[in-house]
Amino acid sequence: MRGADAPAGHGLRQRCGKDSTTMAKLVAVTACPTGIAHTFMAAEALRRVAELKGHDLMVETRGAEGVRTPLDGAAVAQADAVILATDITVDESRFHGKPLVRTSTATAIRDTERIIDEAIARATLHRTTAAESVPGDPTRPNSGAEETPSLAPRRADASTTSIASQPLVTSRATRSADAPSTSVASPPAATSSASPRAEAPTTSIASQPLVISRATRSADAPSTSVASPPATSSASPRAEVPMTSIAAPPATSSATPRAEAPTTSIASPPATSSPPHRTDATPPRTPPSTAPTRTLVAVTACPTGIAHTFMAAEALTRAARAKGYAIRVETQGSVGAKNTLTSEEIAQADAVIIGADTHISTERFAGKRLLQTSVGEALKQADRVVEQALALPAPPGAIPAIPLPGAPARAEPTGVYKHLLTGVSFMLPFVVAGGLLLALSFVFGIDAYKQPGSLPAALKGIGDAAFALMVPALAGYIAYSIADRPGLAPGFIGGMLANQLNAGFLGGIAAGLLAGIVARTLRDRIRLPANLEGLKPVLVLPLLSALIVGLLMTYVIGAPVAALMGALTRFLHGLSGTNAVLLGLLLGAMMAVDTGGPINKAAYAFGVGLLGSNTFTPMAAVMVAGMTPPLGLSLATRVAKRRFTLQEREAGKAAAVLGLAFITEGAIPYAARDPLRVIPAMVFGSAIAGAVSMGFGCTLRAPHGGVFVLAIPNAVQPLGPYVLALVAGTLATTLALVVLKRPLPDTPGP
């Protein structure tokens, strides 16, 4: 029962010609000559309005890149009506027998609701005509008849209209809260009874525009029974069922001596609407349970990150929900990742779908059914992709993604530290390639590169180019870490300006942080109309963010940071004797105090950043200090076996390999088991190694590689003292471990 102030959404669904629990199925095709803007804008407008009205709409777009989301035969067969919003010729043969609404893309964009309403009205008329061609069953009891809500209720004195194949126009009105209900069935003829005050003629209309309006029914209008005999209907005085009078054949009406009311034969597909107090009607259908039986997560991405990314996400969502599955889709588009999947969502998922044409890391999906496909496949064959993902067997022997109960979550870097590490990680390949190529250019002689056209000159040119990209890469990916893809362009531009202003890696860090903050702020604050939203990631954000960052770097930040960088470089170049040894002690201790932690990474970033300023001594101290902890521990497990468990002694072999490769994290298991003794020993040995390296003025042109980089001529200079620093640090670590660690009581001796 509904009052006069009932929500408009309920009436909106009634106006669509179906009951409030059933939505209409529509399909549409959009196309324009260029296939760029109007095609997709019209599709989005139709899809959005249909969803708001509670209907299901599938749209095929014919754009510059061809047909997207093509309509298959099953979708067309199940559709109640077809909308053709096209400015070019489209083959209509596959829609034969379906109600068609033809319009332009511009009209579909501007007057979307009217187009949807007209499609629903034509679908209702089509069902009426089709149903009336099938004779009713006079033996069917009225108690089993299903009721069809109408498009327009009528007053008791409203005329009944017979309509066939006219253009449709719809309008709205309201109905009184106490309007009586109507029982409707589908035989060709029906009988209705009216109250003493109801009297209206029957009107036949042909070749005129069809107007389907919602009139206001009188509060005291009686209920009307429309059914094949011997049918009866009863309703409460305030029953609320909308009523529509649409029919092609003439109808016969009968009334009591006090009133005369017209009748209308109505044909529609079965629907359910139960008036209050009715006991002889078919009970309303119970909607299926909405509790999802299975859960999926997905990631979609395409090279441009504008259209396919979100269309594939929508297709997967629709396909999964249609099958009763729960799904969460992360989109990695042009403005960054949206709806980012959490570790809890991934842990609860039964399967993972990656629909992408770009690289997507799969590390976080370990232990899950994983289906990798293209974004186009996820878009066009969403149903099949969903079923394939769930049908995959669980990976044998995979590490479960669900954390163990009570297991502490691994702390992830956050804030500026996280952004800095992201930039450094992407910068490393440029530094490694550039440094080693420069070192190779010196194999042929210190001045061999000065000969134009020679191999040394080519090697040095390539190395210089790689080094020139070092600071822009650092800045670009710091900004990327902060603002995602919108931060890349201003970050790289700011980093290039830092190079030109001689601000070095400090200028790159400043430019990256600035670009990330600016790009993220613009991305979150700028709001454009829906039809212009596509310009935001490709025009608005790059232009404004690059302009702001460039001006600030040129006029505000660049000069002070360049002065600071110059002072730091001069200080480091001028270090000798005690000062150099002290710096080596500091850098060495930082590399070992929190293996793989923020202090370790800060020291490493400092050494790597100075390579771009032709300052190579800190990098040498950093690498040798990072090699000694696992090497010293490995040696200690051999010479002091009683101080280590059997497992630790076995792990010592792997720690040696990791140490030689400059992977300091090989010492973490030992430090975690006995931090009060192992960490001081590691700090002592690394400080010794760093001090020796700086004391001899050792230089390193490559930021990584461990002992393997020693084989490259001129990569390390001088080589002998550098090896001495490595040996000294390793022995110091081992000696400290022997002194600090006590023998284990149950461990057998050598």
By annotation, the residues acting in catalysis are 302
The residues near 694 (Cβ < 8 Å, ≥ 6 apart) are: 575, 580, 581, 583, 584, 587, 617, 618, 620, 621
- Reference 132, options 294, 251, 304; nearest CA is 251
HEC assignment per residue over 608-637: HHHHCCCCCHHHHHHHHHHHHHHHHHHHHH
Find the farthest-apart pair of alpha carbons in the chain and give their distance in angstroms, rounded.
Answer: 123
3-state secondary structure of 648: helix
**C-alpha distances in Å from residue 275, one per residue of 215, 272, 503:** 20, 10, 79
CA neighbours closer than 13 Å in the CB half-sphere of residue 471:
26
What's the start-to-end Cα distance of the chain, in Å?
90
The token duo for 708 is 């393997």
- Reference 658, options 701, 706, 598; nearest CA is 706
Strands 295-301 and 224-226: unpaired
Do residues 470 and 476 make contact, with C-beta atoms less than 8 angstroms apart? no
**672, containing H or E segment:** helix 668-673
Strand order in the sheet with 336-338: 336-338, 326-333, 295-301, 351-356, 369-373
CA neighbours closer than 13 Å in the CB half-sphere of residue 224:
37
State the CB neighbour count (10 A cutoff) for residue 525.
7
- Reference 592, options 628, 547, 640; nearest CA is 628
If you search the block for the tokens 């760093």, which residue do you land on?
690
At position 94, the amino acid (one-letter code) is R
Do residues 298 and 345 make contact, with C-beta atoms less than 8 angstroms apart? no
Do residues 31 and 16 make contact, with C-beta atoms less than 8 angstroms apart? no
The token duo for 225 is 């029974």
Do residues 419 and 445 make contact, with C-beta atoms less than 8 angstroms apart? no
**722, containing H or E segment:** helix 719-740
What are the φ and ψ backbone dihedral angles of 420, each rounded to 5 degrees? Answer: -65, -45
The token duo for 288 is 């299926």
Give burial (CB, 10 Å; 0-12/13-18/19+) of 461.
middle
